[in-house]
Structure 1
Amino acid sequence: MVVVVTGASAGVGRATARMLGERGARVGLLARGEAGLDAAADEIRSAGGEALAIPTDVADPTAVEEAATRVEQHFGPIDAWINVAFTSVFAPFHEIEPQEYRRVTDVCYLGFVHGTMAALTRMRPRGHGVIVQVGSALGERAIPLQSAYCGAKHAINGFTESLRTELLHERSKVHVTVVQMPALNTPQFSWVLSRLPHHPQPVPPIYQPEVAARAVLFALDHPRRKQYWVGASTVATILGQRVAPALLDRYLARSGYKSQQTDQPVGSGRPANLWRPVDGAAGGDHGAHGIFDDQAHGHSAQMWLSRHRRLLTGTATAAGAVAAAAVAGSARLPQH
């Protein structure tokens, strides 16, 4: 299988690429940070797969198209495309500059559009392929201090829904699905552009990026569902938004600022990856994990249940049948 992963140098993209390598996949790796890309490629090869690292800014549609061409020249037809690339600004809306807002939108939303365009250009004529959009619970329920990111993730949902209806209209065998993620322990919180007084953090509960990667691969294997929700917190957030959005507004207004910051003050000179990768002398390879390993969960019971729902449904049905037979049998026994 030939798979392209954007944002592959760190975080969820990095963990997903490594797991694809364990499957023996041929993986095109797209991101800006060359140190992270090279390390990801080494991990894939060590795991038994093949890798092609292509430094790419997904905000540039021409660069994305050229990267897709290189992948196919090197590996052959692309079977799957996974959009993960990310950047953001942590700040109240009134402290975000217009060009910063545009940059987040160009990467987090239009980067997904560009990747999807490059993938569909190749997949539609072949009548084969899967596109996985790595979304967020924040694409269904926004929170304070992340208006640019939340807006982009909401946009991905709308764009993907529209695209899905077009593919259904065409009776296309190309599938597109979204995986809505919970808070994850990725390096982004150490390099995101932040104007907060304290170090940014994911809102607990926090999950390891491997939890997200396993969900992405499950969606890749089972792409017919519209969305996958990862983590009990994602389920609670999305359902809460549907049932009581005004209540969530008031709750997040009270708790959303504190829950997204640690107690550690940060200075204004910390590195940020909004405009350029935090790479080379500024930090090198960052891997998949962030600094919150001691707080992060390595498994999601909710996602396990989602992945095994057919087995559980079958087991419950069989158990019900056995119980019904037992009750029926006892009814025919002599009563003492």
Structure 2
Amino acid sequence: MVSKTADVVVITGASSGIGRATAHEFAERGVRLVLAARDPEGLDAVVAECTERGCNAVAKITDVSDETQVQALVDRAVAQFGRIDVWVGAASVYAFGSVEQLPREVFRQLVETNFFGQVYGVRAVLPHMRRVGSGTIILIGSVYSKTTAPYVSAYVASKFATFGFAQSLMHELRRTGISLCMVLPATIDTPIHQHAANATGQVVKPIPPIASPLRVARAIVRLSNRPQPVTVVGSVQGSLIWLQQLAPGTYSRVITAMWHWLGLRGGSVPMSPGTVFEPDPASNQLTGGWRSPLARAGFALGAVAAVALAVGRRRRA
């Protein structure tokens, strides 16, 4: 058990990536889990994995962009276990494409999931936490909650909005006994890139360095015991937050070069909505397979080349 006050944990986005890893970490500590995602097959698999680790876990199919479904998730958790001690908002979708390229409906649905899904969760769970005067809400943002990049404007906008929402809510929760935490992961080895909508016309790959989802999951478990307002997971990319603030011109050159050298890999790829509207059960896994030794070596060489290119352009300017 994590702690007496972290006995009932609800996790959205639990069928893959960070959400799945977090479910495993909590399960090993004997908590009671309510796991939510859109994919019933993936949820059943995670429930089985958590049960094998010795915890009581139940599933609730939930699309967090639907406020009615989020409220039903909270009602199920309270009916099943009597309370909610920790809420982990890990559901998220991704999309690549310039502002002109990305279809309007994809942009809107991404924001509905990544931002409004977090708002719906908070609004549904807060009355129960206020009733008992305790609880911890952990929202998963991104380093893109504090930085920017080309070709991911919809995702960045959703994560900035979530960060601002959380910061405002923290003021409202002072002296209530309820803690609100934001986790800002860097690039994590999850299937989110395989799941992403893609309107670039090119093959898209993650920007290194790429961290394990277990690092994020363990940070989330720690926060359930010792809440902190903001936790960044991934120190290298986390440092880009300060670079953008202190030297925005240099940051723009570096991040643009990294995307052109590492993120967009050429090819001819048709427009795909990815999992923005519907889940893909076949690809719902713990990791995305981006941390193999060969992949990591290639990413590292590409990152060095991108930074060198950006610095060289600055010197010639």
- TM-score calculated relative to the size of structure 1: 0.82
One-letter amino acid of the structure 1 residue matched with residue 134 of structure 2: H
> Hey, what does 1:188 align to over in structure 2?
192
Q: Deviations over 1:41-100 (max 9, x none)?
A: 011100011111111100011110111111111122000100011112111111112211
2: CA distance, partners of 1:27 / 1:273: 25
Change (3 A) 1:41 1:262: farther
Secondary structure at the counterpart of residue 141 of structure 2? strand
One-letter amino acid of the structure 1 residue matched with residue 276 of structure 2: L
Report if aligned partners of 1:27, 1:50 keep a CA contact under 8 Å in 2: yes
- Backbone CA RMSD of aligned residues: 1.7
Structure 1: which 5+ runs fail to align? 298-336
Alignment of 1:45-194 (within 5 A): 45-168=51-174, 171-194=175-198
> Hey, what does 1:202 align to over in structure 2?
206
Report if aligned partners of 1:141, 1:238 keep a CA contact under 8 Å in 2: yes
> Hey, what does 1:287 align to over in structure 2?
285
> Hey, what does 2:315 align to over in structure 1?
none
What is the Cα deviation at residue 217 of structure 1? 1.1
- Larger-Rg structure: 1
What is the Cα deviation at residue 271 of structure 1? 7.4
What is the Cα deviation at residue 262 of structure 1? 4.3
2: CA distance, partners of 1:25 / 1:59: 27
> Hey, what does 1:275 align to over in structure 2?
277
> Hey, what does 1:260 align to over in structure 2?
263
Secondary structure at the counterpart of residue 205 of structure 1? coil
Secondary structure at the counterpart of residue 64 of structure 1? helix
Q: Deviations over 1:116-143 (max 9, x none)?
A: 1111121012111000011111110011
> Hey, what does 2:27 align to over in structure 1?
21
One-letter amino acid of the structure 2 residue matched with residue 247 of structure 1: T
2: CA distance, partners of 1:145 / 1:219: 32
The percentage of aligned residue pairs carrying the same residue is: 31
1: CA distance, partners of 2:162 / 2:200: 26
Report if aligned partners of 2:198, 2:271 keep a CA contact under 8 Å in 1: no
Report if aligned partners of 1:180, 1:234 keep a CA contact under 8 Å in 2: no
- TM-score calculated relative to the size of structure 2: 0.87
What is the Cα deviation at residue 288 of structure 1? 0.9
Report if aligned partners of 1:144, 1:257 keep a CA contact under 8 Å in 2: no
Secondary structure at the counterpart of residue 84 of structure 2? coil
Q: Deviations over 1:148-207 (max 9, x none)?
A: 010010011100010000111xx2100001111010110111121112344322210001
Q: Which moves more between the two structures, 112-121 or 266-275?
A: 266-275
Secondary structure at the counterpart of residue 216 of structure 1? helix
1: CA distance, partners of 2:264 / 2:285: 22
Q: Which moves more between the two structures, 268-277 or 100-109?
A: 268-277
Q: Which moves more between the two structures, 152-161 or 266-275?
A: 266-275
Report if aligned partners of 2:187, 2:208 keep a CA contact under 8 Å in 1: yes
1: CA distance, partners of 2:262 / 2:148: 14
Report if aligned partners of 1:145, 1:257 keep a CA contact under 8 Å in 2: no
2: CA distance, partners of 1:269 / 1:113: 29
Q: Deviations over 1:296-325 (max 9, x none)?
A: 88xxxxxxxxxxxxxxxxxxxxxxxxxxxx
> Hey, what does 2:314 align to over in structure 1?
none
Number of matched residues? 289
